[in-house]
Amino acid sequence: MTIPFVDLYAQYLSIKPDIDAAIETTIKNSSYIGGRVVTEFEEKFAAWIGAKYCIAAGNGTDTLEILLKAYGIGAGDEVIIPSHSWVSTAETVVNVGGVPVFVDTDARLYTLNVDQIEKKINSRTKAIIPVHLFGLPAEMDRIMEIANKHNLVVIEDCAQCHGAEYKGKRTGTFGHAASFSFYPGKNLGAYGDAGCIVTNDENIAKTCRMIANHGQLKKHDHQIPGRNSRLDGLQAAILTAKLKYLDKWTDARIANAAYYNELFKDSVVVTPVIPEHSRHVFHLYVVQVNNRSQVQEALREAGIETAVHYPVPMPAMPAFKEYINGNGSYEVNEGYKDKLLSLPMFPELTHEQMQFVASKVLSIAN
């Protein structure tokens, strides 16, 4: 038995008629850039999440950068972000001229440690970017409380948390705006790069839309210097077709995680924590084991694909060394980074596959 980390082909086969029709219609209409097919996805996604505006864009890195620009964050402005995330969260701050200020993470939740945020706030601080890492919401109540007290913008990085909830409310609706990625392996994935911004702020929505399309809202009316970060029609059609199944797929991910948890119960394997007030959507199922490289190697030999998210905390990356200067405390993240192991996780995973993965892990983990 070989078990992939994600099985996008199995997912395609399960909805083949929908996808094939979406692609065929888009080609028939030659609606490759913009137009009705993109607007339809934006409307459906906004309704699904419960936000007023959705602006589709090229990918989930561009959307973070476009949002930072739209909020006027630039030279010398400090943005508080977790030490543990995909590199986009930090590099976009640098790319607008800002300074990433790293906050350590919680040892079991993996999201940013809210107790450390206020210590990092000063007169240059402009924003906080919480990341709902692996599919678990960050502690949004306290983050919003701190942000409101200090007048900071909150941009949620929702690349890994489509459908996650915190105290009964969807992630992506707490902050001033949110950024989503539809990278193929994400919980809602395109067949290429894609992303979007959601917000209830009309002005920010308008500015983001302009930035993403050469600074124009009407053709040849370039109000500000923008860029080209549009969602193409084929990706929009595929995303609209897949959105219908997202809630069902999320339920399957949650059920799969519960089954893995049961298989690892009372073992040395440290399983994900799910606070009672949160709905974790398991973009990734991440465990901790002391002998990670041994476990990973044994699984590889058994035909099981695994991954590490992420091997290097962002403050330790050469890319950000000039921004550390004593603000890079991340002992907790540093302490668990060599134990993290992401096991196969996707909606179509079977009990038999999970039993095989778990038995291999349990036979070697210490």
Ligand X SMILES: *Cc1c(COP(=O)(O)O)cnc(C)c1O
Which chain residues interact with ligand X by CB under 6 A? 59-61, 85-86, 88-89, 131, 157, 159-160, 181, 183, 193, 195
3-state secondary structure 190-252: CCCCCEEEEECCHHHHHHHHHHHECCECCCCCECCCCCECCCEHHHHHHHHHHHHHHHHHHHH
> At closest approach, how far in Å is the CB of 294 from ligand X?
27
Residue nearest to ligand X (CB): 60
> At closest approach, how far in Å is the CB of 64 from ligand X?
6
Q: Report residue 313 as tokens.
A: 């905390």
Rounded CA-CA distance 227/213 in Å is 6
> At closest approach, how far in Å is the CB of 191 from ligand X?
13
Q: Which is nearer to ligand X, 88 or 171 (CB)?
A: 88
Q: Which is nearer to ligand X, 111 or 116 (CB)?
A: 111
Contacts 24+ apart (CB under 8 A), 352-358: 352/1, 353/1, 353/3, 354/256, 354/259, 354/260, 354/263, 355/263, 356/1, 356/3, 356/302, 356/304, 357/3, 357/260, 357/299, 357/304, 358/260, 358/263, 358/264
> At closest approach, how far in Å is the CB of 90 from ligand X?
10
Give which of 6, 8, 274 is closest to 132, Cα–Cα. Answer: 274
Q: Which is nearer to ligand X, 183 or 356 (CB)?
A: 183
> At closest approach, how far in Å is the CB of 60 from ligand X?
3
Q: Which is nearer to ligand X, 85 or 125 (CB)?
A: 85
> At closest approach, how far in Å is the CB of 214 from ligand X?
20
Ramachandran assignment for 181, one of left (phi > 0), alpha (psi -120 to 50 degrees), beta (any other): beta
Q: Which is nearer to ligand X, 183 or 323 (CB)?
A: 183
Q: Which is nearer to ligand X, 246 or 354 (CB)?
A: 246
